[in-house]
Amino acid sequence: MQSLSQTGAAIPYELSLYLIAVTFLLPASVMSMSLGNFMIGEEGQAVWRVYASPISAKSLVKSKYSFMILFALIVLAITGTFGTLAFHPSLRAIIVASFEAVFLVFALGAISLLNGIKGADFTETPRARMIRQSWAWTNIGACTLAGVALLAPFFPYVLSSMLSSFLPDLAGRPLLDPYQALIISGVIAVVLTVIFYRMAVKNAKDLLAKAET
């Protein structure tokens, strides 16, 4: 991407959209997914400190989730700055991509933390596992479906943009305005985040209750 930005050649609009989306959305989403998977399992054998502390399940999830979101947003700030400087997107593209990345971070983070708690593996020998493989694959599938659901409102706009080069009548008349798609995606993100965050708290309660027995 950096070599493309330094050539000085005009980047096709479709490729520009793709590069901007990848730069803004992918790194922060991957960071959120990865940390959500490992935030509980990385405690390893030291997880007894969590069991022994007077922390509640809600506080445990809140602390892990906040830490995960913070790091993902830092990644978004770095990659978003790079994408802005490298590809010079429009203000509208920056706004839409930034908000959509935040939506993905919160929703995928809640899903990953849920699966990370449920599938936590505290084994440290011969190597740290952190999460059982079956739950890692489950998380990838769940996050993929959630990501598609969040990005689905933008498909009509992308489709109309691609077809506008073949059908000039569609130029300037997208099937769905990006801001409208962003609102729909935001509603989906809030619903997913609330549902899976509450499920993560329930899983944390089960985890702490199991430790007491």
Q: Is the pLDDT of residue 212 over 70?
A: no
Contact 185, 106 (CB under 8 A): no
pLDDT, tens only, 97-144: 999 999 999 999 999 999 988 887 777 666 667 788 898 899 999 999
Contact 111, 86 (CB under 8 A): no
pLDDT, tens only, 173-209: 556 688 889 999 999 999 999 999 999 999 888 877 7
Q: In the chain, where do the E strands start and end?
A: 120-121, 130-131
Q: Which residue type, as a one-letter code, is found at position 35?
A: L
Q: Considering the entire predicted model, what is its pTM? A: 0.84
Q: Phi and psi of 54, rounded to 5°?
A: -85, 25
DSSP-derived secondary structure letter, 176 = S
Residue 19, token pair as written in the block: 């590069």
Q: Percentage of the chain with pLDDT > 90?
A: 42
Backbone region of residue 44 per phi and psi (left: phi > 0; alpha: psi in -120 to 50; beta: other values): left
Residue 78, token pair as written in the block: 């770095």
